[in-house]
Amino acid sequence: MGSLMLLDTASMYFRAFYGVPETMTAPDGMPVNAVRGLMDMIARLVRARHPARLIACLDESWRPAFRVAAIPSYKAHRANPDGTEQIPAALLAQIPVIFQTLGAAGVVMAGAPGYEADDIIGTLAAAADQPVEVVTGDRDLFQVVDDARQIRVAYIARGVANLEIVDEAGVAARYHIPGRAYAAFAALRGDPSDGLPGVPGVGEKTAAALVRVFGSVEAILAALDAGHGGFPVGSRAKLAAARSYLEACIPVVEVATDAPVRPDGGWLPSVPVDPARFAELDERYELGSSAGRLLSALAAGPS
């Protein structure tokens, strides 16, 4: 049956933007480094990993209301006064071109109002009846790893050429926690890049110890209520003081698995679905060899 490859698209085009020089431009001088860089990344991934299906997952809401309602600081430091995301102007101009080009090539894109790409990935992975590889540079998605269901992360923090396939053993080796307990670990430790405060005074080692003992935030709260032992020295009082945060953080940290997206489609297109439009975009933005590599990789299909 082959695998389903789910792309954390924004994570990838941000990495392409910062990894490819802005001197790569269209005839009118507009930078196309993110467009071409992303096309090259996808082509290389398809060639190397041979997925049967490919879906580019999108942020239709980069800061969903349900997460902000639970934790108001969620991504607040990355928001403009009007609530939009802070994105470099040179990248912002390229995002519509990215979507137009992928669409014309026949790459299926999936998103849902009010949800982040992580939630689309979580939903599609949960519904899949085949092996899944999630391509991301964001460790938050380690929580979807599930050996029993053959869901793994193709982690590209060091680049596509140096991607790391992360399974439950990989998560356990990194953080000394059970392989499917990353969400609880992240909730306790916090994540400044997302404005997630964590439990004050609980660092990575204590968070890992708590997860090893209790397994989940819900179990920690139950143990606090029941007066159970097993808490690392000094942590019980810190957890009790952070109770309101612990009660609110679960829907913020955990990816949704019920976003309104269809779990079908994504078969690799042997030819562009709109060849005329693709050719027009290629000419207008001088996508050149990157466009050719993408189409060639998609047409080759799984081995």
Name residue 86's amino acid.
Q
Confidence band, pLDDT 50/70/90 cuts, at residue 303: low
Q: Read off the pLDDT of residues 51-96 as tens digits, 9 standing for 90 and up.
A: 999 999 999 999 999 999 999 999 999 999 999 999 999 999 999 9
Q: Containing domain of residue 293, as a range?
A: 4-168+255-300
Residues 195 and 161 in one domain: no
Residues 131 and 78 in one domain: yes
Q: Read off the pLDDT of residues 175-211 as tens digits, 9 standing for 90 and up.
A: 999 999 999 999 999 999 899 999 999 999 999 999 9
Read off the pTM: 0.95
Model pLDDT, residue 188? 96
Residues 36 and 80 in one domain: yes
Residues 246 and 275 in one domain: no
* Residue 302 predicted with pLDDT over 90: no
Examine residue 37 and state whether it is found in any structural domain, yes or no. Answer: yes
Residues 218 and 247 in one domain: yes
- Per the CB < 8 A criterion, the answer to whether 112 and 260 are in contact is yes
Examine residue 222 and state whether it is found in any structural domain, yes or no. Answer: yes
Pairing of strands 151-155, 164-166: antiparallel
Q: Read off the pLDDT of residues 219-271 as tens digits, 9 standing for 90 and up.
A: 999 999 988 778 888 899 999 999 999 999 999 999 999 999 988 899 999 99
* Residue 1 predicted with pLDDT over 80: no
Examine residue 261 and state whether it is found in any structural domain, yes or no. Answer: yes
Model pLDDT, residue 165? 97
Residues 157 and 249 in one domain: no
Examine residue 10 and state whether it is found in any structural domain, yes or no. Answer: yes
Confidence band, pLDDT 50/70/90 cuts, at residue 284: very high
Examine residue 173 and state whether it is found in any structural domain, yes or no. Answer: no
Residues 54 and 202 in one domain: no
Give the Cα separation of 150 and 193 in Å (integer). Answer: 29
CATH code of the domain in which 236 resides: 1.10.150.20
Residues 65 and 209 in one domain: no
The count of domains in the chain is 2
Examine residue 176 and state whether it is found in any structural domain, yes or no. Answer: no
Model pLDDT, residue 197? 93
Q: Read off the pLDDT of residues 94-134 as tens digits, 9 standing for 90 and up.
A: 999 999 999 999 999 999 999 999 999 999 999 999 999 99
Examine residue 175 and state whether it is found in any structural domain, yes or no. Answer: no
CATH code of the domain in which 68 resides: 3.40.50.1010
- Per the CB < 8 A criterion, the answer to whether 199 and 239 are in contact is yes
Task: Give the chain as a DSSP string.
Answer: --PEEEEEHHHHHHHHHHHS-TT-B-TTS-B-HHHHHHHHHHHHHHHHH--SEEEEE--S-SS-HHHHHH-TTTTGGGB-TTS-B---HHHHTTHHHHHHHHHHHT-EEE--TT--HHHHHHHHHHH-SS-EEEEES-GGGGGG-BGGGTEEEEE-TT-GGG-EEE-HHHHHHHHSS-TT-HHHHHHHH-BGGGTB---TT--HHHHHHHHHHH-SHHHHHHHHHHT---PPTTHHHHHHHTHHHHHHHHHHHSPPS--S------BPPSS-SSHHHHHHHHHHHT-HHHHHHHHHHHHH---
Model pLDDT, residue 99? 98
Q: Read off the pLDDT of residues 129-173 as tens digits, 9 standing for 90 and up.
A: 999 999 999 999 999 999 999 999 999 999 999 999 999 999 999
Reading the block at residue 193, the tokens are 């890049």
Residues 135 and 238 in one domain: no
Examine residue 191 and state whether it is found in any structural domain, yes or no. Answer: yes
Residues 128 and 221 in one domain: no
Residues 243 and 293 in one domain: no
Residues 97 and 231 in one domain: no
Confidence band, pLDDT 50/70/90 cuts, at residue 14: very high
